[in-house]
């Protein structure tokens, strides 16, 4: 099912996007897979070439999960937690699918970030280091999970 991306202009969207998301129970694997499929379907249907990440809250699920572009596919991160981050940061100009038409916002992001997350395919916790654009996208999506909009 393709969901619409919630924008900050909608009353419902403002409420969902400004709330901290809840952890997903690993025992609800079927529900997790449904959310991930909705995220991927929605991202794939998006006409914006900058659609390289999408949080569950952006399509109406107030839970801790998101996808990022990973090569030619998507990587799903469920219940991600920051393990470490570099002290070094870099400036970056970001846009957000939940703020259509808005000009890029200048941010500062850590150059490297290490996350631990649940991998639905392997059914286990994974620790992975992200750098460059991947690190920026991960931090942007992690902000969504905390109810923070760029």
Give dist(CA 7, CA 48) in Å, integer.
Answer: 14
| 83, 93, 123 from 96: Cα distances, Å | 25, 10, 30
Which of 9, 34, 87, 141 is the catalytic position?
A: 141
Give dist(CA 3, CA 97) in Å, integer.
Answer: 13
Q: Within 13 A of 47's CA, how many CA atoms are on the CB side?
A: 1
| Cβ within 8 Å of residue 99, ≥6 positions away | 7, 8, 149, 150
94 as an active site residue: the answer is no
Of 70, 73, 64, nearest in space to 116 by CA: 64
Mapped onto helix, strand or coil, the DSSP state of residue 135 is helix
Residues acting as catalytic residues = 141
């Amino acid at each position: 099912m393709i969901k619409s991306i919630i924008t900050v202009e909608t009353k419902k969207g403002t409420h969902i996007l400004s709330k901290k998301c809840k952890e997903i129970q690993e025992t609800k694997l079927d529900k997790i897979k449904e959310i991930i499929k909705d995220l991927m379907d929605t991202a794939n249907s998006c006409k914006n070439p900058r659609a390289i990440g999408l949080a569950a809250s952006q399509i109406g699920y107030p839970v801790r999960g998101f996808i990022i572009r990973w090569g030619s596919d998507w990587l799903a991160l469920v219940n991600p937690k920051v393990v470490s981050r570099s002290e070094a940061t870099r400036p970056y100009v970001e846009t957000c699918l939940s703020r259509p038409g808005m000009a890029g916002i200048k941010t500062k992001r850590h150059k490297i970030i290490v996350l631990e997350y649940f991998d639905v395919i392997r059914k286990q916790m994974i620790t992975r280091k992200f750098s460059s654009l991947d690190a920026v996208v991960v931090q942007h999506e992690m902000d969504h999970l905390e109810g923070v909009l760029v």
